[in-house]
């Protein structure tokens, strides 16, 4: 990464973050797009309200505001809970969770003020700078070994909330990329069936396009209440969206 941290990239302080490339207007954004488009994207990104707010409030990425809005709409995250953060790097969602599971509001710097009241288990295939109080596991969620490690970290407890912002590296081949996204969401649902409390909630990121309807059906078969959400912090031109499932249906 040539000395630029994932945090710098997420906040537009380094080169354009191609790893976090997204599907734009139904097409896969790939490394082959022109430098001109990348420059325009970077320009928008740097001037973006949420990027500025993230810098001011000490979040590692603007993504924090997507989870914040979802949480504020549904009242999901509360002190004392066990929360699992899938695809957590660079760590903005973990920072938000850490702040919410603290009795006092954090003041800048990304560190939460006050003692952690609850448990946050985060994982990513990429490394992540530590977030105080958050247990981080590095590895691939698709591998059985990672499931074993998450189970060990849960130590017999069930989670109140599972959040997944996982997004695979895009190849540019639309059908293959859609299948990768669907697979990660399916795995998050499978994980939740076993590791969520009956009244627990799962938040996942997914994309309109290939596999969307199928995933909504899977959510409806798994949860008592299912809502799609497009937070304001999620860019309009991105087909990114989120599904919130609450209350497991009996299996």
Ligand X SMILES: C[S@@+](CC[C@H](N)C(=O)[O-])C[C@H]1O[C@@H](n2cnc3c(N)ncnc32)[C@H](O)[C@@H]1O
Near ligand X by CB under 6 A: residue from 57, 124, 160, 177: 124
Residue 52 is a catalytic residue: no
Which of 29, 66, 100, 205 is flagged as catalytic?
A: 205
Q: Which stretch binds ligand X (CB under 6 A): 23-31, 42-50, 123-131, 210-218?
A: 123-131
Rule CB under 6 A: say whether 21 interacts with ligand X. no
88 binds ligand X (CB under 6 A): yes
Residue 242 engages ligand X in binding (rule: CB under 6 A): no
Q: Kindly state the tokens that stand for 41.
A: 């994207």
The reply to whether 93 sits near ligand X by the rule CB under 6 A is: yes
Which of 142, 208, 220, 235 contacts ligand X by CB under 6 A? 142
Provide the β-strand partners of residue 75. none
Q: Are 200 and 191 in contact (CB under 8 A)?
A: no
Cα 92 to the center of its chain, rounded Å: 9
Q: Which of 187, 220 has the CB closer to ligand X?
A: 187
Give the separation between CA 29 and CA 243, rounded to whole angstroms.
22
* Residue 66 C-alpha from the chain's centroid: 9
Phi, psi of 82 (to 5 degrees): -105, 120
Residue closer to ligand X, measured from CB, 181 or 218: 181
Nearest to ligand X of 180, 246 (CB atom): 180
Residues in the chain: 251
Residue listed under structure tokens 């069930």: 158
The values of phi and psi at residue 161, to 5°, are -140, 135
Contact criterion met (CB below 8 Å) for 210 and 173 = no
Place of tokens 């207007």: 25
Residues touching ligand X: how many (CB under 6 A)?
22
Q: Which of 91, 133, 211, 245 binds ligand X (CB under 6 A)?
A: 91
Give the binding site for ligand X (CB under 6 A). 20, 60-61, 63-64, 87-93, 124-126, 140-142, 165-168
Catalytically active residues, by annotation: 205
């Amino acid at each position: 990464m040539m000395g630029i941290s994932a945090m710098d990239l997420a906040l537009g302080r380094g080169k354009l973050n191609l790893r976090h490339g997204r599907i734009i207007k139904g097409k896969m954004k790939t490394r082959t797009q022109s430098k001109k488009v990348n420059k325009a994207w970077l320009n928008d990104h740097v001037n973006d309200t949420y990027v500025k707010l993230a810098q001011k409030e000490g979040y590692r990425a603007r993504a924090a505001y997507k989870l914040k809005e979802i949480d504020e709409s549904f009242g999901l995250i509360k002190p004392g809970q066990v929360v699992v953060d899938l695809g957590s790097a660079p760590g903005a969602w973990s920072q938000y969770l850490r702040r919410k599971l603290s009795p006092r509001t954090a003041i800048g710097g990304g560190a939460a003020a006050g003692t952690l009241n609850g448990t946050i288990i985060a994982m990513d295939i990429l490394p992540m700078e530590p977030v105080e109080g958050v247990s981080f596991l590095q590895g691939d969620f698709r591998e059985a070994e990672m499931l074993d490690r998450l189970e060990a970290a849960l130590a017999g407890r069930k989670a109140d909330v599972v959040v997944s912002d996982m997004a695979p590296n895009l190849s540019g081949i639309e059908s293959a990329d859609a299948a990768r996204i669907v697979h990660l969401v399916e795995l998050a649902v499978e994980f939740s069936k076993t590791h969520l409390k009956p009244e627990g909630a799962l938040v996942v990121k997914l994309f309109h396009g290939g596999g969307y309807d199928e995933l909504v059906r899977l959510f409806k078969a798994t949860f008592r209440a299912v809502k799609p959400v497009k937070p304001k912090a999620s860019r309009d031109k991105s087909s990114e969206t989120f599904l919130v499932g609450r209350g497991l249906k009996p299996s």
